[in-house]
Structure 1
Amino acid sequence: MYDHLKSMGIIAIENIDRYSLRSEAEYDILKIYYKKEKGSLFARSEKFKYPRQKKTVLVDSGTHKYKDVTEISPILRHVVDELDRVTKHDKEIIDHKKKILQDLKHLEKVVSNKITEIEEQLKHL
């Protein structure tokens, strides 16, 4: 399922916590952070270096001027897509848990208010 990550030698995909991507000169630096293991002081991470893809693009069609530009490599783009799927899934689970807890707190408040209301009605009888 995560072929590009596996081709990089990453086998514990479920342990990926987050990633960062930055550019330095002619390279893109991808850093993958793993979930902190129990008893460990520091979270583990790995760095990967990808050369930027070079392209020549037409800047002005009237004068036929071209400019050299660089952009993220297609392979790295696929890796980032896979990392987004891995990290977004974790975020969705956390958001879903948060939503359930909020719903539970709201329900608790509604039930508490209803009990108070019924007790007040009983006092008036």
Structure 2
Amino acid sequence: MTDYPTLKEMGISAVESIKRFSLRQERDRDVLKIYFERPASSLRAHSQKFTFAHPRTAIPGQSRHSQAYAELSNSSPVLCSALAELKQLTTAEVPQLSPKAEVLQDLQHLERVMEGKLAEIRQKIECLA
């Protein structure tokens, strides 16, 4: 197996369990989220989030499948190196999505997160009653 020094520096020792990753912008920083292949009963995290500050005010896209991936030259060198390693690890498995499909996928993820959070809040309300 090829050595992935940047990912190891970031604390990821089991690179073979990386399933996919996403990149998005939040204000003045880039957020890299790495998803792992784990059994449902695993106590280990299914994802890990890393935040990288950058001097620019905007990033032209939010996905590695867009032109944004190629235009990250002003971003953190660690982020650029990590993205290169992640792309090398996951290229064979990740299908290319159209921009519309990416947005729909993001929307579905947001809906799942919101449903889970609403259920958690409702459960807390029930406990208070």
Query: Which range, TM-score by smaller chain?
Result: 0.5 to 0.7
Q: Which has the higher strand share?
A: 1
Tell me, yes or no, if structure 1 residue 77 matches structure 2 residue 80. Answer: yes
**Count of aligned positions:** 78
Q: What are the superposed Cα offsets for residues 88-125 of structure 1, whole Å, 9 maximum, x if unpaired?
A: 2445xxxxxxxxxxxxxxxxxxxxxxxxxxxxxxxxxx
Q: What are the superposed Cα offsets for residues 46-100 of structure 1, whole Å, 9 maximum, x if unpaired?
A: 0000011459xxxxxxxxxxxxxx9322210000000001112445xxxxxxxxx
Cα offset, 1:37, TM superposition: 1.3
* Contact map agreement 1:18 1:87 (CA 8 A) in 2: yes
Question: Rg bigger for which structure?
Answer: 1
- How many Å separate the matches in 2 of 1:25 and 1:38? 33
* Contact map agreement 1:30 1:47 (CA 8 A) in 2: yes
* Contact map agreement 1:53 1:73 (CA 8 A) in 2: no
* Contact map agreement 1:29 1:49 (CA 8 A) in 2: yes
What corresponds to 1:96 in structure 2? Answer: none
What corresponds to 2:126 in structure 1? Answer: none
* Contact map agreement 2:28 2:56 (CA 8 A) in 1: no
After TM superposition, which residue ranges in structure 1, 4 or more long, deviate above 2 angstroms? Answer: none
Gaps of 5+ in 1: 56-69, 92-125
What corresponds to 1:7 in structure 2? Answer: 9
SS of 2:6's partner is helix
What corresponds to 2:26 in structure 1? Answer: 24
- Give the TM-score normalised by structure 2: 0.52
Where in structure 2 are the equivalents of 1:1-125 lying within 5 Å? 1-39=3-41, 44-54=46-56, 71-90=74-93
Percent identity (aligned): 40
- Give the TM-score normalised by structure 1: 0.53
